[in-house]
Amino acid sequence: MFTESQRDRIDIVLVSPRNPLNIGAVARAMSNFGFSRLSVAAPYAPHWREARSAVGAPDLLQNAKCTECLADAVAECTFVAGTGTLTHRRPEQPVISLPDAGPTFAQQLDGAGRMALVFGPEKHGLTRDDLSYCNVLIEIPTDPRQPSMNLGQAAAVCLYELSRRVVHGDDESNAGGIRGLPPFRQEKSEKVGHGELEVGPASNSALDRLGGLIEETMTAAGYSPRVMQPANRHDLRLLLRRLAPSALDTRRMLGLFRRILYRLNRSGDPHDR
């Protein structure tokens, strides 16, 4: 089982849930397995905190964080796992079957960052855009004749499986890591600026800042037509999460692209030749 300190580093995120009763059911399932950090991104109903289905977990529901979008909900996380089935979906990130996901979570918890387990709306699950914020997709095996699950049930199944199968990151069952997923790197501390230390993987907010700066640089360089910018933005999100740069490397790349953008913007200035 996860320790209390490990559970405190895992956020359960619901994206655009429609039924308050389902949100309450998720809160109840979280309480069953000792999780307490719930985030609700762009909820459909305004009075979801009053759901009566949160039996035994009213405080958890009242203390849940509400954000306008998924990006805000996972901004401080360094590892984000989306959930769903592979029916009608062609994922662009590594896929882990739920029974095999425990070791991956344990490996990531060896670091210092936060993690998020993300569930999509009841009607269609996580969208392609939602998944672009995720490092991996955790597949919930279901009968193909009935692939969808109730939101509360899906959360309960995932939390139960992760809790019972989590092992130490150096266990033999996790040898080699998950195909397509960079192994966790415990980065050595390095001094930055006036003694500030940056250790471990970059947060989602840092990756989004880097992606935004790269996109701005691409635009300044005339990389592609304006109509391609949304596709470029999507691909950049996927690429940066696939590469999983460290916080320090992300800072270095920010500096690099800021300098390139500065030079591009001044290229027409005769005093800059």
User: In whole angstroms, what is the distance from residue 227 CA to residue 149 CA?
Assistant: 36
- What is the β-pairing status of strands 196-197 and 191-192? antiparallel
For the chain, which residues make up each domain, given as ranges? Answer: 4-174, 191-272
Give the predicted TM-score (pTM) of the model. 0.84
- The answer to whether 80 touches 126, Cβ cutoff 8 Å, is no
For residue 7 the two structure tokens come to: 């559970």
What's residue 193's pLDDT?
53
Per-residue pLDDT in tens (0 to 9) along the chain, 273 residues: 788 888 999 999 999 999 999 999 999 999 999 999 999 999 998 889 989 888 989 999 999 999 999 999 999 999 999 999 887 778 899 999 999 998 888 888 887 789 999 999 988 899 999 999 999 999 998 888 888 889 999 999 999 999 887 654 444 444 344 444 544 444 444 555 555 555 688 999 999 999 999 999 999 999 989 999 999 999 999 999 999 999 999 999 999 999 999 999 987 654 454
Which of helix, strand or coil describes residue 37? coil
Nearest-CA neighbor of 268 among 224, 223, 220, 229? 220
Q: Closest Cα to residue 64, out of 86, 35, 93?
A: 35
Instruction: Decide: 190 and 197 in contact? Cβ < 8 Å.
Output: yes
Closest CA relative to residue 112, chosen from 140, 145, 79: 79
Query: Could you tell me where the DSSP H helices lie in the chain?
Result: 4-7, 20-32, 58-62, 70-73, 101-109, 128-131, 151-165, 204-220, 229-243, 247-265
Kindly indicate whether the domain formed by 4-174 is annotated with CATH number 3.40.1280.10.
yes
